[in-house]
Amino acid sequence: MNKIIIKFQRLTHASDLTLPSYATDGAVGMDVVAAIDRPKCIQPGEIIAIPTGFAMELPAGYEAQIRPRSGLALKHGVTIANAPGTIDSDYRGEIAVILLNNGKQAFTINRGMRIAQMVVAAVTIVAPIEVDDLGETERATGGFGSTGL
């Protein structure tokens, strides 16, 4: 498994909270917690940004993806509104998680609750060039559903 060093800055309002961390040795996503002062209730259909209490310095060529926690999604319908959320390597502000309650019940977020997972991934930077024609394929311009079910 590939390891890189990422600098994390714990913000003052999160001095008692954990930084992103892996729950198990085989985990790919680091758990991210809510850095809120008091409980926040998310109503069905509501979208809310939850601060995490940290900023970070990703190396160039990497992104961090904010993804839903499967337990919150399955049991409560709480997911990430812009899943996966992307954090660019040049961003230095506090990371926030945009939660969406797709469930039928209100859901309460408490301080320190694990609300998302963060996966760091290498990215490929594209050098676009404009051309008059593209190469031929069997599918060609067949759109949604063109390859069957």
Please indicate, yes or no, if residue 5 is contained in any of the structural domains.
no
Partners of 80 in the β-ladder? 99
Please indicate, yes or no, if residue 55 is contained in any of the structural domains.
yes
Residue 55 has pLDDT above 80, yes or no: yes
What pLDDT, in 10s, does the model give residues 94-128?
999 999 999 999 999 999 999 999 999 999 999 99
CA distance 63 to 42: 28
- Containing domain of residue 85, as a range? 11-122
Please indicate, yes or no, if residue 80 is contained in any of the structural domains.
yes
Please indicate, yes or no, if residue 142 is contained in any of the structural domains.
no
Please indicate, yes or no, if residue 132 is contained in any of the structural domains.
no
Residue 4 has pLDDT above 90, yes or no: yes
Mean pLDDT of the chain: 94
Please indicate, yes or no, if residue 97 is contained in any of the structural domains.
yes
Q: Are 34 and 109 in contact (CB under 8 A)?
A: yes
Nearest Cα to Cα of residue 4 among 52, 50, 64:
64
Please indicate, yes or no, if residue 44 is contained in any of the structural domains.
yes
Q: How confident is the model at residue 92 (pLDDT cuts 50, 70, 90)?
A: very high
CATH number, domain with residue 79: 2.70.40.10
Largest CA distance in the chain: 58
* Domain count along the chain: 1
What's the confidence (pLDDT) of residue 48? 98
